[in-house]
Amino acid sequence: MKECGEIRERLSAFIDDELPAPERKLIEDHLHKCPACAQEESSLRQIIDLMDGLTDESPSRSFIPAAVHRASAWKRCAYVKGHILIPVLTVLRSVFSVVSWQLQANAGRRRTPVDAYLRSFDDFPPESLSSVYISLIQGEST
């Protein structure tokens, strides 16, 4: 790693102390010999110093109470959902299932499929060809 281009690519990692010792030593040696690369390193450090000067913002005084309040509100909602809403809905669903099953069973008892089939013949209008046919069949059977 002797080329200036390669050295410059690694200058940020060098400044941030993110390089292994042997590579760090190589760059240090190069910077002592190469004024252009040393200048590049210096200008990068200037930018870092400038960034150091950026002042910190302080959160508003209501930040912590607001965060705790929001967490508390969410906790209450989660409690209502988990301990009240979901159990109540589960019970309601079970009740609805039982009731609807019961209604279907009662309806099944009142009208069997055979009854329903036979009653469908009552729906023919009087004097229609079908009703004459039905009456003929009935006459034959009696």
Partner 1 sequence: MDKSEWEIMAEVAKGELSAFRKIVEQYQKPLLNYIYRYTGDRAASEDIAQEVFLRVFRTAKEYVPLSSFKTWLFKIATNLCLNELRDNKIRRNTVDIFELNEAGFVALASTCFTPEKETEGRELSALLMRALNSLPEKQRVALLLHKYSGFSYGEIGQMMGCSMSAVESLIHRARQSLKKQLTPYL
- C-alpha 82/C-alpha 32 separation (Å) is 67
36 binding partner 1? (CB under 8 A) = no
Per rule CB under 8 A, is residue 1 in the interface with partner 1?
A: no
Binding-site size, partner 1 (CB under 8 A): 32
Rounded CA separation 76/72 (Å): 6
- Find the helix or strand (DSSP H, E) in which 135 lies: helix 129-141
CA contacts within 13 A on the Cβ side of 135: 9
Question: Rule CB under 8 A: is residue 57 a binding residue for partner 1?
Answer: yes
CB of 66 to partner 1, least distance (A): 6
Using rule CB under 8 A, residue 24 touches partner 1: no
Structural tokens at position 135: 């009456």
Q: Is 59 in the site for partner 1 (CB under 8 A)?
A: yes
Minimum CB separation of residue 115 from partner 1 in Å reads 58
Nearer to partner 1, 21 or 54 (CB): 54
Spell out the residues 6+ positions from residue 97 whose beta carbon is closer than 8 angstroms to its own: none
Region of 52-60, 88-96, 108-116, 127-135 interacting with partner 1 (CB under 8 A): 52-60
CA distances to 12, 47, 52, 83 from 55, in Å: 23, 15, 8, 47
Binding site for partner 1 (CB under 8 A): 9-13, 16, 18, 43-44, 46-48, 50-51, 53-60, 63-64, 66-68, 70-72, 74-75
